[in-house]
Amino acid sequence: MPAPRLRTTPLPGIGVQYELTTRRHDTLSVIAHRDGARTLNVHHDDDPDSCALSMRLTGAEALSLTDALLPNHNSPNLLHTSDFGLLAERVTITGTSHWNGRTLGETQMRTRTGASIVAVMRRAHAIPSPGPEFRLRGGDTVIVIGTREGVDGAHDILDRA
């Protein structure tokens, strides 16, 4: 079977559309909007006007989906947190977030959820093990590790507008 081909089509004023036709002749398309959002569409090749699925994703949701499709956990030296009932997830701080400009200590994350903030991604830089005095900014991506319940609690806290 030949390698799948990804077609790219510029959409002026909107972004870029990527299309992949599967071996079953379904077409998956992703529209990468200029604002960072993504629209995922699925249709059959025999009728490209009928869409079986259309879903708009935020940039953070698209990133999570990318992690699921292309996990980069293939290093034999990497500790899989799931082996211990733990998981790590990303949470993005928005510009309108309650936490924009506040310190990590103010979240009381570990006390309230048992989860830990192990790093913050700011622009192209990683800030490992930020202390309680670390001040969050809109656009930061916080890496949280803990149990499912703890990480869900972290999302609840950090998603506060």
- Kindly report the CATH number assigned to the domain that includes residue 134: 3.30.70.1450
Q: What is the signed CA dihedral for 147, 117, 104, 134, rounded to 10 degrees?
A: 170
Is-contact 154 146, C-beta < 8 A?
yes
Is-contact 89 81, C-beta < 8 A?
no
Q: What one-letter code names the amino acid at 34?
A: R
CA of residue 104 relative to chain centroid, distance? 21
Looking at the structure, tell me whether residues 152 and 90 fall in a common domain: yes
Looking at the structure, tell me whether residues 92 and 139 fall in a common domain: yes
In a domain, 68, yes or no: no
Number of domains the chain is built from: 2
For residues 116 and 83, what is the distance between their CA atoms, to the nearest angstrom?
17
* Stretch among 36-45, 73-82, 116-125, 144-153 having the lowest mean pLDDT: 73-82
Quick one: average pLDDT of 123-140? 92
pTM: 0.52
Structural domain of 36: 6-58
